[in-house]
Structure 1
């Protein structure tokens, strides 16, 4: 009976009438909506089966067949975040949904596949609307956004999980969504042979993991053709054995430690009981909990080794790339009341548990110098120094390292760009937060198309930066080069090259710059210890 249904679905036309806007896939039909601006959308499309019941902690499976046409007018639920209890009403364990935005009557347009961030512990950039980007492209791209599992639902790791479940399920969800794009995006007018990855923070970190998923060969390399990573996150990566403590602690807290099969016990727990215990604990040897405890695990398959090491060994996919960061990457993460060097060091050790005392001494000498760090109202004396250190350790210096790795390859050196986003906002400047982590999403997507309120300046004095950013991004999506279709009057964006060139982006001041010597020196030290920090 099921096989007969599949045949019937496969025989349905790929595109229905414009008025109904129904798209027929071989497992379901989805009714979307065409806006007056010529951009159509389909929201809440299942790209995998609900990861619930026996599929908790399992790799993503194919979606189930739906015989009735599904409404695709609203977003699907987000995946459940760590440290969220009671569970918010818009979050669910049944969360593997995607949204498609495409010009009406599109045919073979380039595809932008967006991976949201959240430290692999939240879906923190949810439900972005692709309408603004599509309009900025002249109706010449399609946009796909989606959810993936996070926290223990996506990244629980232990010997038990490796044996009876699946590791790195959040990353496998991303691959599953990419496979969906390869199979179905043509039905929505997209070109599966022209897919550009985009993402910020952990989403950009996922991009670097996909780029270096060398052992997975064609499974990954055939899924995308270019990548733009914003504020790529390089947290500490653990092996399965190093992750065992989190599994053991979770089974203890949930009452599963005495079960005959602890994995089955965790898998079969009520969601309410499991989520009550879904919070961060300190890594072994640390005094405080990290910002993000669950993260991708070195599994000798998708993640064969530390990311820094893989790129140093030339084990990465050769595609056009953009990497880049914001001026003040660390300000939203460092505790605002950090008043002593010891407090700063405790935070760094919590998030990089293998850091050594001699490394902390060197980092303190580079970042905790009082004359260089202004103290803002109500901020601790060492907040700014800690923010600068964390921002360069986790985001800025890794991005520069990746650009240099691509420059070392003749094939990729000519398609390798880096940016420094430095758009200022008066409120953020006065508080010391500055050009904070991932703030550029407001300019790329348009302030009315993101899910969190944009700074007011993006609708006033910083509104001119929006066409500049959208011009570079949509040009890269369309042509794998940010210059081809850039906004009129925007400066040419030169490649990274041997001189460490990057574009400095600020309203009315956008230009090329060379990485300052002082920052380059700091980054060379941090890059030299990165593998010992498990990055």
Structure 2
């Protein structure tokens, strides 16, 4: 009997050794470098601040991203790398021009060959800042029952990512912020298996400019050429004014003048200037045809290659990658941007004109009809103008809500109808409601990532009034990441999230209305449809 017991004992040791050999090692060898990660909170392993591209400095400023250089020593991947420099902001402790880093979260118990679905998230910031460089993926991994891998990245913004001119077109590279994202997706395809991820099951996502990045990736090269992702889930996609290279030249010329590079090889001269000095001389300018400065100056440029046309025209013509999609927006996406002292209709119009200089009186007449002045009162908002919420409603719908509906509609019409889902996030935080912010820009982010890991109001935490919405949102999101369908693994008791359009002859579009205790499918109302139909009609006129 003893030899039999010894054999079983030996067999169990061999099985254990085999399993350990196939577990994801905190030390990963990526060929160009070895990165030592560590187990973080709640059994989730993390690798932070890994390079996915060479430092874009000196001669690589304004250049397309290059493969990272080889490192001889083991690199500690314990902390986030520095985030990219923001427009017109002096470099700080946690920012640098050397900023192209990727972060990965995976279940600590995952096997190297687990082939877990991957969520690749692009942070927002209006293409002028990295707004969430330290977002923690732990909550999403846990919410998925430890069945996914989460990836976040930094990418170049402002002049480093989106300065455009004939000089940059001819001697450097345009739209480098987007090319950074493409490079990071190529990194995922090549290396994510080392972390237990499946390179053939990748969902891209983002919020605000991150969601805009998602639609730019979907429509890249006219919808052809990117094989690095397989689904998309994003919130509040931003449609701003899109300029071509010629229209963007004034930004470059002004920078050259401020840098005293005029009369020289201007690109070579700009590459030699210290980043700290470059940040100081970089000034926000009005867009062509506007009298005031926009919320965001630098943004992706129509270059005839990566971006071939206006977004409304690309999606209207079906020139985008056909994959399962989720898009949506928040009720009051505009309140964070429109100045609170907007007191007259002219103030409101002027703000919109600064963002979309192509707006004419005929457009304003229609916008006034679609978005009349409100009589809402906000006693805890402090001083605010009579047209703040009117302007906010118009801006939020033009920039975020209608784009989300447009993309989902295009996905349903040109792709698979039952693989296009849309949402309206309407979860009211009491404090934000009192202040007049309402369900503000990217209010859905803490619910998706978890308020412990993405911040958010008290009402989302512990036993707060909105705490129940967190598992609902995380259930839909992680289900989509895992199966390309938000319903398969949704939280128990959550209603079925039906596609935007179920049949070809359906005249009514439906989306998931997300509200604590009241989440369910609702048709998009007539007024909303009327507004979005109008912006589809004039979108190209407004250079969107």
Q: TM-score range by the shorter chain?
A: over 0.9
Consecutive unaligned residues in structure 1, runs of 5 or more: 1-14
Q: Could you tell me how far 1:526 is from its partner in structure 2?
A: 1.8
Number of the residue aligned with 2:7: none
State the partner residue of 1:68.
73
- Pair 1:271-2:275 in alignment: yes
The answer to whether the aligner puts 1:48 opposite 2:53 as a matched pair is: yes
**Residue 99 (structure 1) aligned with residue 108 (structure 2):** no
**Residue aligning to 2:29:** 24
**What residue number does 1:154 align with?**
161
Q: Residue 130 of structure 1 contacts residue 143 of structure 1 at CA under 8 Å; is this kept in 2? A: yes
2:189 matches 1:182: yes
1:19 Cα deviation (Å)? 10
Please list the CA deviations of residues 95-141 of structure 1 after superposition, one character each: whole Å capped at 9, or x if unmatched. Answer: 00010001123310000000000000000022211111111111100
8 Å CA contact retained: 2:107, 2:149 = yes
Which residue pairs with 1:5 in the alignment?
none
CA distance 1:270–1:214, shift in 2 (3 Å): closer
- Structure 2 counterparts to residues 213-362 of structure 1, below 5 A: 213-215=220-222, 217-218=224-225, 220=226, 222-258=227-263, 260-362=264-366
In the alignment, does 2:202 pair up with 1:202?
Answer: no
Secondary structure in structure 2 of the residue aligned to 1:185:
helix
Checking the alignment, whether the CA contact within 8 Å between 1:373 and 1:385 is kept in structure 2 is no
**C-alpha spacing 1:444/1:64, structure 2 compared with 1 (3 Å):** same
Tell me whether 1:530 sits opposite 2:539 in the alignment: yes
The question of whether the paired residues in 1 share the 8 Å contact of 2:331 and 2:426 is answered with yes
Contact 1:373 1:384 in 2 (8 A): no
Q: Spell out, residue by residue over 1:307-331, the C-alpha distance to the aligned partner (whole angstroms, 9 max, x if none).
A: 1101111111110000100000100
Query: Residue 425 and residue 36 in structure 1: after superposition, are their counterparts in 2 closer, same or farther (change >3 A)?
Result: closer
- The separation in 2 between residues aligned to 1:373 and 1:205, in whole angstroms, is 33
Structure 1 partner of 2:477: 473
Q: CA separation in 2, counterparts of 1:389 and 1:516? A: 16
The residue aligned with 2:371 is 367
Q: Is the 8 A contact 2:475 2:489 kept in 1?
A: yes
Please state how far the C-alpha of 1:340 moved relative to its aligned partner.
Answer: 1.2
- Given that residues 231 and 324 in structure 2 are in contact (C-alpha distance below 8 angstroms), is that contact kept between their aligned partners in structure 1? yes
Structure 2 equivalent of residue 418 of structure 1:
422
Structure 2 distance, partners of 1:350, 1:271, is: 28
Measure the CA separation in 1 of the matches of 2:540 and 2:42: 49
**Residue 361 of structure 1, CA deviation:** 2.2
Structure 2, gaps ≥5 residues long: 1-19
The root-mean-square deviation of aligned C-alpha atoms, in Å, is 1.6
| Alignment of structure 1 residues 424-435 onto 2, 5 Å | 424-435=428-439
Larger radius of gyration: 2
CA distance in structure 2 between the aligned counterparts of 1:503 and 1:443, rounded to whole angstroms = 15
2:92 to 66, 78, 88: 88
- TM-score, structure 2 length as denominator? 0.92
- The answer for the alignment partner of 1:117 in structure 2 is 124
Change (3 A) 1:300 1:424: same
User: Post-superposition shift, 1:37?
Assistant: 2.5
Structure 1 residues 17 and 322, CA gap change in structure 2 (3 angstroms): closer
Q: CA deviation at 1:88?
A: 1.8
Change (3 A) 1:103 1:374: closer
Q: In 2 relative to 1, CA 65–494 (structure 1 residues): closer, same or farther, beyond 3 Å? A: same
- Higher mean alpha-carbon deviation, 144-153 vs 346-355, is at 346-355
Please give the TM-score of this superposition, normalised by the length of structure 1: 0.93
1:272 CA displacement: 1.6
CA–CA separation in structure 2 for the residues paired with 1:173 and 1:248: 24
Distance 2:22 2:192 in 1: 18
| Other-structure match for 2:522 | 513
Are 2:398 and 1:390 aligned? no
Map of 1:395-474 to 2, 5 A cutoff? 395-409=400-414, 411-450=415-454, 453-459=455-461, 460-474=464-478
Instruction: Determine the C-alpha separation between the residues in 2 that align with 1:71 and 1:515.
Output: 49
TM-superposed deviation, 1:364 = 2.2
Between the aligned partners of 1:309 and 1:393, the Cα distance in structure 2 is 16
Of residues 376, 379, 389, the one that matches 2:384 is: 379
Instruction: Find the counterpart in structure 2 of residue 33 from structure 1.
Output: 38
Aligned residue pairs: how many? 514
- Which moved further from structure 2: 167-176 or 343-352? 343-352
Q: Distance in 2 between matches of 1:83 and 1:422?
A: 34
CA distance in structure 1 between the partners assigned to 2:408 and 2:377 by the alignment: 28
SS in 2 for 1:102: strand
- Counterpart CA distance in 1 for 2:296 and 2:24 is 46
1:500 alignment counterpart:
509
